[in-house]
Amino acid sequence: MADCLFCAIAAGEIPAALVAESAQCIAFRDINPQAPTHVLVVPRQHYADAAALTAGDPALAADWLAEVSRVAAELGLADAGYRIVINTGDDGGQTVRHVHAHVLGGRAMGWPPG
């Protein structure tokens, strides 16, 4: 999709600190980390948000969630735990309208979020 930051990163047109790649997804470090480990896991195919992805390609949605778990384990977060965040829409704080999961770890997370 034109003018989409994460499509451009997935295509290699904009550099990012990649931590994992699969046929369907990429994972790279967030440029403004909110935890000692903060990685974004992104389907290569453009969908605006999780609702569009699950409606449009449920198999890809499942692959994406599995990739989140794989990446968290590869980053050494599985034992201590981590948080998966999927911001959706304006009130959800979604600033990039290409579906992505934040994987946050390396410190204890409070609840509820601020």
What count of other Cβ atoms lies within 10 Å of the Cβ of residue 73?
12
93 touches ligand 5GP (CB under 6 A):
yes
User: Which of 38, 46, 98, 100 is an active site residue?
Assistant: 100
Sign of CA dihedral 48, 50, 51, 55: positive
- Is 100 catalytic? The answer is yes
91 touches ligand 5GP (CB under 6 A):
no
13 touches ligand 5GP (CB under 6 A):
no
Cα–Cα distance for residue pair 55/31, rounded to 1 Å: 29
Within 1-114, residue ranges assigned H as helices are: 5-10, 50-56, 58-74
What count of other Cβ atoms lies within 10 Å of the Cβ of residue 47?
20
Question: Which of 16, 39, 50, 53 forms a contact with ligand 5GP (CB under 6 A)?
Answer: 16
28 touches ligand 5GP (CB under 6 A):
yes
Q: Which two tokens stand for residue 46?
A: 């453009």
83 binds, among Zn ion, ligand 5GP, none (CB under 5 to 8 A by kind): none
Q: In the range 29-58, which residues lie near ligand 5GP by CB under 6 A? A: 29-32
What does the binding site for ligand 5GP look like in residue numbers (CB under 6 A)?
5, 16, 28-32, 87, 93-96
Active site residues: 100
